[in-house]
Amino acid sequence: MYKFDGTQEDLEWVNHKQGDSGEDEEDDGYDNIIHGKQGGTESFETEFVNAYGYLASYEKVDENQTKATFSGTFNSAQSHSWNLSYNAEKPLANFHLLGNPFTFDMEWNKIAQTNMVDGYAVLNGNGSGYQYMTEGTIKVGDAFFVKTTADDATLSYNHYVKTTRNEKANSLNIIATSAEGRDNLIISLSSEKAGFNKLQNFDDAIATVYVHGEGVNYGIYNCNDDVQEVEVNFNANKMGSYTISIEPNGKFQTVTLVDRFTGIETNMLLEDYHFTAMSSENNNRFIVKMKVNGQQTTDNSHFAYVSGEELIIEAEGAVEIIDMMGRVVYSNDVENTNNRINVANLENAAYIVRVINEEGIKTQKVVIY
């Protein structure tokens, strides 16, 4: 069992099993979780601290063998506030591993925040690396990393508050996938200056995708809303086949991925990009070009986008929403532009929107969160 303490340089993962000497009782394979070392038990609490997160590591012998049992006082609270530290001299100390302390899920957009990066990181499904988020739901019992940007940083959550923070900025979720796993990068077109640093994946074989700027590799990169292209770095830790997909969140007219190595340009609103890479290649391989506006779109442009619980269609004709299994989950005729379709009952997933009219057939991929 580990807790995170970014003030201990190169010893930020504190192992409860270690003595003051800093030597493991048993090597469990996590000696290099982020920067290579673990701290001792002199600062490890004897009971879990409410609303903070921990990392559990174990040897997986059998699929049905691992089971954790917790005991303690039932937490019936409906609200909680975190007062978090900031350290200009130790950047890693500005990362805090928190936990959902409630008996219900938390919605990120309902968390009030001051002097924080608007985004967080969680472990991916198999615990091999991180997933970066700017919205979504934090499940009961889940831990999540946040980052402070100045003194007097706070987060607070009240279950009875129904309102959410301001409408989210247009953003792109760029996902790199291979046989070893997946990694992601979020480009957010917002006025916020601070970004969220890329954390080192636990599995070194996973390829990483990020934006590099001012000496920092970003997992969440914020830029002005008038930016039309961003250089995207890709690091293949081993030779193999890879796929890049982009999930748009907002009103994008075009999103194009440019592969500098091959010269191929791909319309990412319509398809994913498949390629091979070696670990020795230059990291600055890709450029993402994008255009955001509300103008009437053409056949090859973005005509559908998700806003809250609605899918907005800027086209006329017969509309179909198709899931990734090829099943039509919605169909209707659109007789005017800016048609709004309630998609609250659809599962959070990727879908294909198809519009058929006298001009032909338009298709576009959308992601419902």
Q: Which phi and psi angles does 343 have, rounded to 5°? A: -115, 20
Q: Where are the domains of the chain?
A: 171-292, 304-368
- Please name which of 223, 149, 175 lies closest in space to residue 367, comparing C-alpha atoms: 175
- Please name which of 224, 290, 226 lies closest in space to residue 253, comparing C-alpha atoms: 290
Residue-level pLDDT at 24: 45
Say if residues 134 and 165 touch (Cβ distance below 8 Å).
no
Residue-level pLDDT at 120: 97
Residue-level pLDDT at 147: 97
Pairing of strands 171-178, 240-249: antiparallel
Place of tokens 């590591």: 57
Q: Which residues are CB-neighbours of 346 under 8 A, at least 6 positions away?
A: 321, 329, 330, 368
Residue-level pLDDT at 266: 93
Terminal-to-terminal C-alpha distance of the chain: 32
* DSSP-assigned letters across all residues of 299-325: TTS--EEEETTEEEE-S-EEEEEEETT
CATH of 304-368, one of 2.60.40.730, 2.60.40.3080, 3.40.50.300, 2.40.50.140: 2.60.40.3080
User: What is the spatial distance between Cα 331 and Cα 323, in angstroms, rounded to a whole number?
Assistant: 12
CB-neighbour burial class of residue 63 (10 A; exposed 0-12, middle 13-18, buried 19+)? exposed
Looking at residue 119, its amino acid is G
Q: Which residues are CB-neighbours of 174 under 8 A, at least 6 positions away?
A: 184, 185, 186, 187, 209, 232, 244, 245, 246, 288
Say if residues 255 and 189 touch (Cβ distance below 8 Å).
no
Place of tokens 């996973």: 206
pLDDT 10s digits, 42-88: 567 888 889 999 988 777 666 666 677 778 888 899 999 999 999 99
pLDDT < 70 stretches in the chain = 18-43, 60-66, 163-167, 293-301, 337-338
Say if residues 171 and 93 touch (Cβ distance below 8 Å).
no
Handedness of CA 206, 211, 212, 214 (dihedral sign): negative
Half-sphere exposure of 162 (CA within 13 A, CB side): 0
Q: Read off the pTM.
A: 0.75
- Please name which of 269, 265, 271, 264 lies closest in space to residue 252, comparing C-alpha atoms: 269
User: What is the spatial distance between Cα 113 and Cα 117, in angstroms, rounded to a whole number?
Assistant: 9
Q: DSSP letter for 103, please.
A: S
Q: Which residues are CB-neighbours of 131 under 8 A, at least 6 positions away?
A: 121, 122, 123, 124, 184
pLDDT 10s digits, 202-219: 888 899 999 998 889 999
pLDDT 10s digits, 277-321: 988 777 889 999 998 864 333 444 678 888 888 888 888 888 989
Paired tokens of 15: 């192992």
Looking at residue 133, its amino acid is M
Q: DSSP letter for 116, please.
A: B
